[in-house]
Structure 1
Amino acid sequence: MIKTRAETLVDQLSLEQQVQLLTGTDWWNLQGFPELGIGALGVTDGPSGARGAGGIMGGTKTTAFPVGISIGASWSPELARELGSALADEALDKGARVLLGPTINLQRGPLNGRNFECYSEDPILTAELAIAMVEGLQSKQVGATLKHFIANESEIRRTVNSSDVDERTLRELYFVPFERAVKEGGAWAVMSSYNRVNGTYAADNEWTLTDVLRKQWGFDGAVMSDWFGLRNTTAPVNAGLDLEMPGPSRWRGQALLDAVAAGEVSADAVRTAALNILTLVIRTGAIDETAPRTEVENERDSTRALIRKVGAAAAVLLKNDGAALPVTGTPKIAIIGPNAKAARVMGGGSAGVNAYRRTSLWDGMLEAFGADNLSYAEGCTNHRFEPILRGSFTREWFGNDTLSGAPIYSDSDASMASFLEYLPKGVDKLDHSIRISGSFTPAETGTYRFGLHCTGRGRLLVNGAEVVEAWDSWTRGSTMFEEGCDPVIADLTLQAGTPVEVVFEFATKPTFDLHFHAYQVGVGIVKTEAAIAEAADLAAEADVTILCIGRSEEWDTEGWDLPGMALPGAQDALVAAVAARAKKTIVVLQSGGPVEMPWLDQVDAVLQGWYPGQEAGLALADVISGAGYPGGKLPQSFPKGLRDTPTLGGNDDSTYPGRDGHVVYTEGLFIGYRYHEQQGIAPLFPFGHGLSYTDFSLGLPMVDLDGEGQGALRIAVENTGARTGSEVVQLYIAPLAAPVERPVSELKGFGKIALTPGTTGEVLIPLKPRDFAYFDVATQSWIVAGGDYELRIGTSASDIAHRVTVTVSDQVLPV
């Protein structure tokens, strides 16, 4: 019915109108034809909230959801489905019918800036969660967009580098979440990645976009570019990419009409692309929406409660010596660290939103224990950039890049920061300048550090004197999607209560690739070693010390990769100093992936909290206080250091971060736990690891399997402890002999169960022939090599409770 309607409508459009449909009209909207009854489709950034049409740093307030790795740590398709449904409501609030998510790339290594946005290093866990998220979104007629297709596992030079990956690795690892989310989830949209794949840009790649995605997997939805992700007019259309985003078009429009006239693109290819977009417009119901797009703020108590529940369900108890957690009774608690009062609720980049609220761990602990029992010290900072300068500022906009003449527009702003902001009418995005003026008053006397970074030239004047300059010395760096300069800083001594006049001047540069302006000016007081000593003194006086450490959205962000696994700033020194004085030390770690823990043996407990959305502090306090319980398992292995990772363990930079425009996936199938098992490396914490406040016992597994590998595994799980909790039964399959090199074992299924004390439940894990297969490039088929396979049932990749050997027959399975 939908395709029939789309076929009818597409043939009512002229070639010119079909071409109009193949690009956005602006950043977030597509072309509509109300005279033909075709509404304009709106999209919004995801996957951790529906941001709407505002910039990354502003826009209509909305709900901040748990990030991808937090959802991954829940190991719960059920919760992912609920989150998808709630995200759909949020998208509709913002006038959007398509959400740009989920992000289902794999965590190839520990340093990718967008690892926080992805579910897991494992394709099966990622696929199961992706299917559920798609189902949740599309159950309310909001289209899910699978991104980024394909092999986009690093942010370094992501718009030019080629990910060189052999086909078997693509098929067995990186394709799997996309394949299953298309075949089983029925996703309506796919976004191509920026990078090249084996030399060809993902947006130009006919093999991935047409041969694999459409012909082999049966995808019948729309494929869109990542924003400004096209490089030419003809290749993307011919390869099967339907929609160029954003608009106005840079590569289509008249250029595409000319290409059709020249025979470089067929009219049929244009019609097919338009048909695919109309199919999406009809599926989402946007076809019938002819009123202008509007956005509303609509915070729901039910969504807040869901986010709080998921935050606890995703919290991973890494260590808990002496049952340090939960904290019960009314002890004196010292809350220490840079993440104590700073709410770490989301990652950075296009996944960021203007959240309704941001609850810190301090907020949550106040609710759980009351102010009389708590004390606080920051100890040190962990920011990448100085805190954004906030106040009441006047902005003057000039129609040139020299700040000359009279301003063409003036407005006010509450901060000296802008990222993907809509420009005032009449301002040319490639040729303008801005002067921002105001003042701030230091709260205390001391040394203050001023910093700025921007996509164009910038300089900061304090009390009339230039103190920070990236004007004549501007050089492209690693900030703002690799469009901005690296931070430039300067220190000044300021007096408490004395107002300081500040003026920031910005001018565009002609080197913009992504055609947006962005700037950020910050100031913060410089912490000294005395701050760590004060924190240690505070800890010595408390019964329990909670150390709130980790990273933030400045570090875990789109547009750059982490410089290493070490915690930023003086946090390791802070932990060591505090642990040496504290009676009981509990570390609450918030990050988008693994970190080094040189202090692990000095602390009593470690709770990994991720970035679990706007209710972060409440959710983590629930776990700490025992009002809830830690329900998470690691979706990514935590190595001891970079030396224990496949992409960074050697000296070949072609594997990472890349050399001469190529990132070579020489490790093949062996990432994460697969690599550790192949090399016999013991990680700091294994994939799937997560402790509980209670104890569980796994009964004997019952395997019902035919000779082809079709069937299921059943296993009883008993809560033998004294508290309610959850367990995740994980099934790994290990071929006992194989005609080709294969991982030692691979996750092929799992089941999560929550139980009260003394109760027993059953986990069912389906099995199918593909679970035993490898991909054979020569025959372009999946091969099940007949023989014995060991089913390994446990609670992490390293903690295996049962092993069962099964025999399956030789088989050849289609792609």
Structure 2
Amino acid sequence: MAGTPTSPDTEAAVEAALRTLDLDAKTRLLAGQDTWSLPALPEIGLESLVMSDGPIGVRGVHWSADDPSIALPSPTALAATWDPELARRAGVLLAQEARRKGVHVLLAPTVNLHRSPLGGRHFEAYSEDPYLTGRIGSGYVTGVQSGGVGTTVKHFVANDAETERFTVNNLLSERTLRELYLAPFEAIVENAHPWGIMTAYNSVNGTTMTEHHHLVNEILRGEWGFDGFNVSDWTAARSTTGAIDGGLDVAMPGPQTVYGDALAKAVRDGEVDEAKVDDAVRNVLRLAARVGILEGAEPAVTELPDTVDGEALAREIARRSFVLVRNENQALPLKPGTVALIGAAARDARVLGGGSATVFPARVVSPLDGLTAALPEGTLSYAVGADPNTELAVADKGFELRAVCRDADGQVVGTASAPNGQLQWMGDNLPDGVTRANLHTVELTGTFTPRATGTHTFGIKGLGAFTLRVDGTTYFDDVRRPANDADPFEAFFGAPTPCARAGLTADRPVDVSLSYVVRLPDDFPTKVVSFALAHQEPQRDPDELIAEAVAAARAADTAVVVVATTERVESEGFDRTDLTLPGRQDDLVRAVAAANPNTVVIVNAGSPVELPWREEVAAVLLSWFPGQEGGDALADVLTGAHEPGGRLPSTWGSLADAPVTQVVPDSGELPYREGVFIGYAAWEKQGRTPAYPFGHGLGYTDWTYESVEVRGTTARVRLRNSGPRPGHEVVQVYLAPGETDAERPARRLAGFAGVTAAPGETVEATVELPRRAFEVWDEKEGAWSFVKGSYEIQVSRSITDRRLTATINV
């Protein structure tokens, strides 16, 4: 395999620049100068290289709602489209966003697998299947890089859970690694030639990934020919010599890293060969050349793609990702009549997952917004029903805030806007007039206008000395200390702490203030000011709320209930302990369904949740985290303007039946005892029936699969739209070996293709079966082995819904 071709002139420019640098400049280039960037080296015409989190948007160097970004649907939603071309278009948009924000490298996509449904960051990865993950990830990387922006495919490798993620030692066989967890990375390197890889926090078989010579140098760079740069996950690099010997090019964030001065000293002390430093610098300079910030080197992309309408694309991806898993008596699309919309998430939409994937869109269209605009006036009612948010959230609706910075004498040295209660300033991105030297206190101050009368709860997210005042009363004046010393990101991802309860009146503004004394830990690797004012509305009696929802449902022709997870259920930094919906949402659905048999449930979750009432309702539509345009996309689908286009990228079922559930290490180790059996392969092996199988999804029309013809390893499938509406179908091809051993799944996804047809129209889908589908990893030989014999080609609508078969011998 080979990386992205670079011209001889570009390679010559890289080598010339490298020869110009002394040891200190070279090692400085390999260490972050701050949270998001590498230093400029003017002596060689190198600009500062800027990185930013993704994967559903480009946050830029500011972690603030004051710097808005387009927010696309979650990666699980993108994978649910089963459309690599749509993933490519998403990448083109994100490159456009990156250029707008001065970002050269996007820290995405996440291509770890859904090993267990309990994985807390499940929503940020694509699928349980390595082939589908590789196809979607390849499209995404191709799109981003076609816009002249680099990608970093992450987290290399086996970073499939969050519990003890900084220290866990994951134990996997070589076959398991090759056939599952390395497979998406390999496919993306081969097909999309990414310019970057991010190595993970965890260890694999005893070696931390930032020092893993075998996986990085021998496989990634050696076998696969990867020629991009290898950057650590933030704070993952632990050893100067271990990291450089293990193939790590860049240690982030800075300015305190294991590289820089420490690496220069290790070379001078004879602990590190300077040639290894040169190799790493060469990779960074090649990346700089590709993104166009190295003088004398032509960028990899000289003609940019056409401008993309971000809001329109976000809406298209969302509606094409929605998976209709149940639709009894054609409950959808909605028929003319009245609609009762129910659920807290229908009004206050959750459009993205928590953690480093967070971006701040300029607007969010909630389901209530979308349906209000789409349905005839007077036909829509709304009731809260049940609120899943049992914890405080960042202050938002009703708050008008600004940030005031003061020095140690209390003098104002600068101010900044604050669109919500979250304040995160990284590196030297401080308000005008504010410096690290003169900044002593930051105050979030302004007014809050409640939308409900009652007892409001206020709280604090962050660590350090705080003073909280509401309506003239000081409720907290103390120091918040860490609860978990092992997690350096607790201030970012930890839960807010309630600190004040105040009785307030709807529509009567009150003054609010949260002051923070800025103190940065000496051992923290980067300079960050991070804290938040949190809030929770008055908590009404849940039974009363459900009773109101039932009354609204009984009075309407159709009830649409939106249920959701929260940031404390799906986010970075922790795994789930169950798959239940938070709060009283299950009770709500059952009560509404009992009152109105025409109940449609929208599941606003990024990953599987249990739906114990699924057989009691007319329809179930999975909307994932649908991005900023989710409400309009939902209206498109519910009204029938568009059909739901998604198919499940992972199996949905109960936790009791799930085959793989261990995500908590035992004495620091997490053995992958299931081997190659995760996802649908594990469900099949154990003879368990999920709620909804991998690949499942309904549309608004019917399809008749007429024939399959296989020539060599090409399958041609003829199918007809036998329903009353235009439609889109995802033709899935599974490969089942005639003879299997205990270590080989009964079938694997080998290919897929999407087709679109008018009513009565016949179309053909062509699916190429890759050689890898016929191979297994031979641990004795240390090589891929092509397994000859008889195979059944299973043309399917899901892993369990087979429509046509054919047999081939290879």
Matched, 1:537 2:571: no
**What residue number does 2:676 align with?**
669
Within the candidate set 722, 725, 731, 1:723 is matched to 725
Cα drift, residue 150 of structure 1: 0.7
Cα drift, residue 491 of structure 1: 4.3
- Identify which range, 265-274 or 657-666, moves more after superposition: 657-666
List runs of 5+ in structure 2 lacking aligned partners. 1-7, 298-305
Matched, 1:793 2:799: no
Change (3 A) 1:394 1:704: closer
What is the DSSP-based 3-state SS (H/G/I as helix, E as strand, rest coil) of the residue aligned with 1:610? coil
Change (3 A) 1:265 1:674: same
Cα drift, residue 750 of structure 1: 0.8
**What residue number does 1:590 align with?**
604
Cα drift, residue 192 of structure 1: 0.7
Matched, 1:265 2:272: yes
Q: Distance in 1 between matches of 2:335 and 2:508?
A: 45
Q: Distance in 2 between matches of 1:576 and 1:478?
A: 42
Matched, 1:446 2:454: yes
Cα drift, residue 409 of structure 1: 4.1
**What residue number does 1:494 align with?**
504
**What residue number does 2:39 align with?**
31
Change (3 A) 1:569 1:409: farther
Within the candidate set 341, 364, 368, 1:362 is matched to 368
Cα drift, residue 746 of structure 1: 1.0
Change (3 A) 1:162 1:466: farther
Cα drift, residue 344 of structure 1: 2.6
**What residue number does 2:4 align with?**
none
What is the DSSP-based 3-state SS (H/G/I as helix, E as strand, rest coil) of the residue aligned with 2:263? helix
> TM-score of the superposition, structure 1-length normalised?
0.91
1:479–1:485 Cα contact (<8 Å) kept: no
- Identify which range, 280-289 or 625-634, moves more after superposition: 280-289
1:481–1:558 Cα contact (<8 Å) kept: no
Change (3 A) 1:471 1:186: same
Matched, 1:90 2:97: yes
Matched, 1:606 2:613: no
1:478–1:485 Cα contact (<8 Å) kept: no
Q: Distance in 1 between matches of 2:790 and 2:437?
A: 63
Cα drift, residue 431 of structure 1: 10
Letter in 1 for 2:321: A
Cα drift, residue 720 of structure 1: 0.5
Cα drift, residue 497 of structure 1: 5.2
Q: Deviations over 1:677-734 (max 9, x none)?
A: 00000000000000111000112211112xxxxx211111210001111111111112
Change (3 A) 1:453 1:345: same
- Identify which range, 243-252 or 264-273, moves more after superposition: 243-252
Cα drift, residue 458 of structure 1: 4.5
Change (3 A) 1:415 1:480: farther
What is the DSSP-based 3-state SS (H/G/I as helix, E as strand, rest coil) of the residue aligned with 2:455? strand
- Identify which range, 605-614 or 546-555, moves more after superposition: 546-555
1:477–1:485 Cα contact (<8 Å) kept: no
Matched, 1:388 2:394: yes
**What residue number does 2:82 align with?**
75
Letter in 2 for 1:778: K
**What residue number does 1:652 align with?**
none
**What residue number does 1:642 align with?**
655
1:479–1:486 Cα contact (<8 Å) kept: no
Q: Deviations over 1:427-447 (max 9, x none)?
A: 659996545444434343223
Q: Distance in 2 between matches of 1:429 and 1:617?
A: 45
Q: Distance in 2 between matches of 1:494 and 1:175?
A: 55
Identical aligned residues as a percent: 38
Q: Distance in 1 between matches of 2:259 and 2:404?
A: 34
Q: How does 1:307-346 map to 2 (within 5 A)?
A: 307-329=314-336, 331-346=337-352
Q: Distance in 1 between matches of 2:564 and 2:483?
A: 29
Matched, 1:223 2:223: no
Letter in 2 for 1:519: F
1:423–1:429 Cα contact (<8 Å) kept: no
Cα drift, residue 249 of structure 1: 3.9
Aligned CA RMSD, in angstroms, stands at 2.7
Q: Deviations over 1:133-184 (max 9, x none)?
A: 1111122221121011111111222112222222111100010110010012
Q: Distance in 1 between matches of 2:455 and 2:370?
A: 32
1:733–1:790 Cα contact (<8 Å) kept: yes
Change (3 A) 1:219 1:384: farther
Q: Distance in 1 between matches of 2:564 and 2:437?
A: 36
Q: Distance in 2 between matches of 1:701 and 1:544?
A: 41
Q: Distance in 1 between matches of 2:134 and 2:359?
A: 25
What is the DSSP-based 3-state SS (H/G/I as helix, E as strand, rest coil) of the residue aligned with 2:60? coil
Letter in 2 for 1:108: R
Q: Distance in 2 between matches of 1:320 and 1:164?
A: 42
Q: Deviations over 1:455-497 (max 9, x none)?
A: 3455644456564688367523999944565443364443445
Q: Deviations over 1:367-403 (max 9, x none)?
A: 221332111111121225324335344655567xxxx
List runs of 5+ in structure 1 lacking aligned partners. 291-298, 649-654, 706-710, 809-815
1:71–1:310 Cα contact (<8 Å) kept: yes
Q: Distance in 2 between matches of 1:326 and 1:139?
A: 38
**What residue number does 1:560 align with?**
574
1:228–1:245 Cα contact (<8 Å) kept: yes
**What residue number does 2:300 align with?**
none
Cα drift, residue 504 of structure 1: 3.0
Q: Distance in 2 between matches of 1:611 and 1:695?
A: 27
Q: Distance in 1 between matches of 2:224 and 2:529?
A: 39
**What residue number does 1:682 align with?**
689
1:40–1:287 Cα contact (<8 Å) kept: no
Change (3 A) 1:557 1:571: same
Q: Deviations over 1:246-267 (max 9, x none)?
A: 2224222211111001111111
- Identify which range, 792-801 or 734-743, moves more after superposition: 734-743
Letter in 2 for 1:24: G
Q: How does 1:237-256 map to 2 (within 5 A)?
A: 237-256=244-263
**What residue number does 1:708 align with?**
none
**What residue number does 1:190 align with?**
197
What is the DSSP-based 3-state SS (H/G/I as helix, E as strand, rest coil) of the residue aligned with 1:504? strand
1:456–1:517 Cα contact (<8 Å) kept: no
Cα drift, residue 360 of structure 1: 0.9
2:130–2:184 Cα contact (<8 Å) kept: yes
Letter in 2 for 1:800: R
Q: Distance in 2 between matches of 1:430 and 1:517?
A: 14
Q: Distance in 2 between matches of 1:41 and 1:493?
A: 50
1:166–1:668 Cα contact (<8 Å) kept: yes
Cα drift, residue 414 of structure 1: 4.5
Letter in 2 for 1:771: A
Cα drift, residue 739 of structure 1: 5.0
Q: Distance in 2 between matches of 1:228 and 1:479?
A: 11
2:733–2:749 Cα contact (<8 Å) kept: yes
Cα drift, residue 285 of structure 1: 1.6
**What residue number does 1:117 align with?**
124
Q: How does 1:278-427 map to 2 (within 5 A)?
A: 278-288=285-295, 302-329=309-336, 331-383=337-389, 385-390=391-396, 391-393=399-401, 395=403, 397=405, 406=410, 409=413, 411=415, 413-419=418-424, 421=426, 422-423=429-430
1:28–1:43 Cα contact (<8 Å) kept: yes
Q: Distance in 1 between matches of 2:472 and 2:114?
A: 47
**What residue number does 2:538 align with?**
525
Q: Deviations over 1:267-310 (max 9, x none)?
A: 101111000011111112222499xxxxxxxx977332222222
1:629–1:692 Cα contact (<8 Å) kept: yes
Cα drift, residue 210 of structure 1: 0.6
Matched, 1:46 2:51: no
What is the DSSP-based 3-state SS (H/G/I as helix, E as strand, rest coil) of the residue aligned with 2:294? helix
Q: Distance in 1 between matches of 2:310 and 2:422?
A: 29
Cα drift, residue 786 of structure 1: 2.7
Q: Distance in 2 between matches of 1:509 and 1:35?
A: 33
Cα drift, residue 30 of structure 1: 2.1
Q: Distance in 2 between matches of 1:423 and 1:555?
A: 32
2:323–2:647 Cα contact (<8 Å) kept: yes
Cα drift, residue 512 of structure 1: 7.2
